[in-house]
Chain A
Amino acid sequence: MTELLVPAMPTTPLERVRWALSDGWVVARRGLIHWVRNPVMVVYQLLWPIMMVMLFGYVFGSAMVVAGGGDYREFLMPGLFGQTVMFGLATTVMVMTTDASQGVTDRFRSMPMSQSGVVLGRSFSDMVNSVLELVILVGCGLAVGWRWHHGFGKALAAMGLLLLLRFALIWVGIYLGLIVTPEAAAAAWAPLFPLTMIANTFVSPSQMPGWLGLLAEWNPLSATVGACRELFGNPGWPGESWAAQHAVELAIAWPVVIVAIFLPLSVRRYRRLDR
């Protein structure tokens, strides 16, 4: 090992993609190992959905009336799916800030690795994480009487929309993770919580005061949750507003817009991190 080594530089676009995938896999595996080795997190992620179903399905749910009629727990489950997806944002932010503060991000940035590999890997492990959370939540939902009524294909499409939103939020998470400190990341829950509530997750926007209802109608989360209710055939759909009636279209459009804004922001921020 006395030869000076310059690692092979990818020359063709195909090679570049291959390296991005291979680097992405290394980073993704790291993310998954982190998750598995953090038993507190694993237990928390298992118990959280159960607690939420209990809390909202039975504690609040017993006093809830669904606008337009229907079972509240059937109405609730798509909302909880959406909320879980949103909360995934906090995980991404936290992992990113931890990496930055421990100097791991700097090591990545000073290495000849594919720069998109870092992000690919991050997205992959975060997506796997979210899929697991959704699967657990679906199990809880089935246990409390929630069903999909329009066939398995549409149910899968609804899951696809949820994961699409999660994918878009990864970019928001990466961007925020590159600009805030770990302390601030821990506080990410504070704004995230109301953001998941000022939506159609737990109550219909039509039952809120006018201005708040308007905000809730146009919350990207409302689009995804509304589209899920439509695809699952759960109560609470459609609402009266234009946004509510075009939930599926918006559930695709919102993530695309979010990615279009935050992907270039993240890439720029990553390249010229001035810490």
Chain B
Amino acid sequence: MEASTHALMAEGLCKRYGDTTALDGFDLAVRPGTVCGLLGPNGAGKTTAVRIFSTLLRADGGRATVAGFDVARQAAQVRYRIGLAGQQPAVDEILTGRENLEMWGRLYRLDARTARRRADELLERFGLSDAAGKRAKHYSGGMRRRLDLAASFILAPQVLFLDEPTTGLDPRNRNEVWKSVQALVAAGTTVLLTTQYLEEADRLADQIAVIDSGRVIAEGTPGELKSAIGGDRIDVVTRDAAGLAEAVRVIAQVTGAEPETDPDARRISAPVRDRIGALTGAARELAEAGVEVEDLALRRPTLDEVFLHLTGHHAAAVDPADPAGRQEVRA
């Protein structure tokens, strides 16, 4: 069977809510045991896609399979093979953290003892041991999200859906989530992860699909995607406006690219290929030219810059007259 070579597959998925088109010919194919990062701005259709894959929502058109099973016609088979952590944490507020995990574990058909043991393991791993006996109602936003994530990790499912899993988590817990995801993937789980952070996709994903207005507009490995948009960027903030013009000249010379300038913030930004060379070169040349610099840093491109590059428009202001065509990014 053709579909079974992919853990996840979508062909021409469409979904409308009244006048809004949430998905508009969404295609995706994810190989087993890999992580696919679904990257896109607010309202791009990420959650809608996840909900269709996890049998919560019916598509208006197209088809999707999970582990080779059709999400519409074989929904029960699909449910036996997936884990889901939705964008909104789904926890029972009246139950304690441990009771939550035990309940979900029981509903995953674990026996009472295994469910309890598994709950304790997960509470420990997600730093909730101390709060295990507290009602989820009294959890902080980040604790709630961790409890929800823990619930989706109760079984090692064949396919795991994580909808913006680290939104609202502090760096330590974000790292813990990333490690847990990597451990599952090492064991063979396929993960579809939606995110607005390029860094997260970069760190976890084997394959990134950039989604905009309900369709995938670019697809490739993080490396391919990054080189297509010119890799990392260097930012320079000058102390005063007077030094701005001179700094632009220096950065253009060092990076060999046309820098973008934000006069209000006195910020200059340019793509770099050789990270360290650009950084040391810029520092030296700026000092020689006598430009007073407040900040000098290397950084990943932002989602907005990725968008600008791929679509020619900013993520927020979608131009319906210019439907972005699908674009394969292959280095």
Binding site for B on A (CB under 8 A): 1-9, 19, 22-23, 26, 30, 33-34, 37-38, 102-104, 106-113, 117, 272-274
Check A6–B156 contact: CB distance below 8 A.
no
Chain A residue numbers with a CB within 8 Å of B99 are: 33
What secondary structure prevails in chain B residues at the interface with A?
Answer: loop
Chain B residue numbers with a CB within 8 Å of A113 are: 107-109
**Bound complex: CA of A9 vs CA of B108, how far in Å?**
11
Check A9–B90 contact: CB distance below 8 A.
no
Could you tell me the distance in whole angstroms from the C-beta of B106 to the nearest C-beta in chain A?
5
Within 8 Å by CB of B92, from A5, A9, A30, A111, lies A30
Known pairs A34-B94, A109-B56, A274-B57. 15 more at Cβ < 8 A? Answer: A1-B121, A2-B186, A2-B187, A4-B158, A7-B109, A26-B107, A102-B90, A104-B90, A104-B92, A107-B104, A110-B55, A110-B84, A111-B104, A117-B107, A273-B56
Q: List 10 A-B contacts (CB under 8 A).
A: A1-B118, A4-B157, A7-B155, A23-B106, A26-B107, A103-B91, A104-B91, A104-B92, A109-B55, A110-B55
Check B90–A106 contact: CB distance below 8 A.
yes
Q: Which of B53-106 contact A (CB under 8 A)?
A: 54-58, 76-77, 79-82, 84, 86, 88-95, 99, 103-104, 106
Within 8 Å by CB of A110, from B56, B77, B183, lies B56
- Closest residue of chain A to B51 (Cβ to Cβ) is A106
Chain B residue numbers with a CB within 8 Å of A7 are: 80, 108-109, 155
**Bound complex: CA of A160 vs CA of B93, how far in Å?**
34
Check A103–B89 contact: CB distance below 8 A.
yes
Q: Known contacts A103-B89, A273-B56; decide if A4 and B188 are in contact (CB<8 Å).
A: yes
List the 6 closest pairs (A to B, CB-CB), nearest first: A103-B90, A7-B109, A112-B80, A2-B187, A107-B90, A113-B107
Kindly state whether residue B8 has any CB partner on chain A within 8 Å.
no
**Bound complex: CA of A110 vs CA of B159, how far in Å?**
12
Kindly state whether residue B36 has any CB partner on chain A within 8 Å.
no
Chain B residue numbers with a CB within 8 Å of A108 are: 107
Binding site for A on B (CB under 8 A): 54-58, 76-77, 79-82, 84, 86, 88-95, 99, 103-104, 106-109, 118, 121, 135, 151, 155-158, 183, 186-189
Chain B residue numbers with a CB within 8 Å of A2 are: 156, 183, 186-187
Chain A residue numbers with a CB within 8 Å of B81 are: 6
- Closest residue of chain A to B90 (Cβ to Cβ) is A103
- Closest residue of chain B to A25 (Cβ to Cβ) is B106
**Bound complex: CA of A3 vs CA of B184, how far in Å?**
9
Check B109–A8 contact: CB distance below 8 A.
yes
Check B55–A102 contact: CB distance below 8 A.
no
Check A103–B80 contact: CB distance below 8 A.
no
Check B187–A4 contact: CB distance below 8 A.
yes
Chain A residue numbers with a CB within 8 Å of B55 are: 109-110
Within 8 Å by CB of A6, from B80, B86, B94, lies B80
Chain B residue numbers with a CB within 8 Å of A8 are: 109
- Closest residue of chain B to A111 (Cβ to Cβ) is B107
Check A33–B94 contact: CB distance below 8 A.
yes
Check A6–B158 contact: CB distance below 8 A.
yes
Chain B residue numbers with a CB within 8 Å of A3 are: 156, 187
